[in-house]
Amino acid sequence: MLRAFPLTWSLERAQNEEAGTLLDRAIAIEPDYPLALSLLAWCHLQRAGYRWTETPAASREEGLRLAQKGAALSGDDPMVLAVLGAAHSFARDYDVADMHLA
């Protein structure tokens, strides 16, 4: 998880993919880890936003799913809620995004 954290915020595709691999491993060990789920959601959202995937709509949907799961498990973690807000923004659900980002 610690190795994945800085990679998650990179604007480089290779680092995004490495972060995703590390986060998948963390989630395999602890499936209900809210921050890992949220960071993996962010990786999917970046892939969609930067067109690093052949299926951006599927990446957006997976990002939203992971962000919602992370938020349901975390309660009020600000980073988890920020990712959830971003995921709703990517889904063009701006009112819900605003609620989580406010």
The CB density around residue 91, as the number of other CB atoms within 10 Å, is: 17
Closest CA relative to residue 30, chosen from 72, 73, 59: 73
User: Is 90's pLDDT higher than 90?
Assistant: no
User: Is 59's pLDDT higher than 90?
Assistant: yes
* Domains of the chain, CATH where assigned: 4-101 (1.25.40.10)
**pLDDT for the residue numbered 96:** 83
User: Is 102's pLDDT higher than 80?
Assistant: no
| Cα dihedral: 79, 84, 87, 89 (round 10) | -100
Q: How would residue 62 be classed by pLDDT, with cut points 50, 70 and 90? A: very high
Q: What average pLDDT does range 92-100 have in this prediction?
A: 83
pTM: 0.92
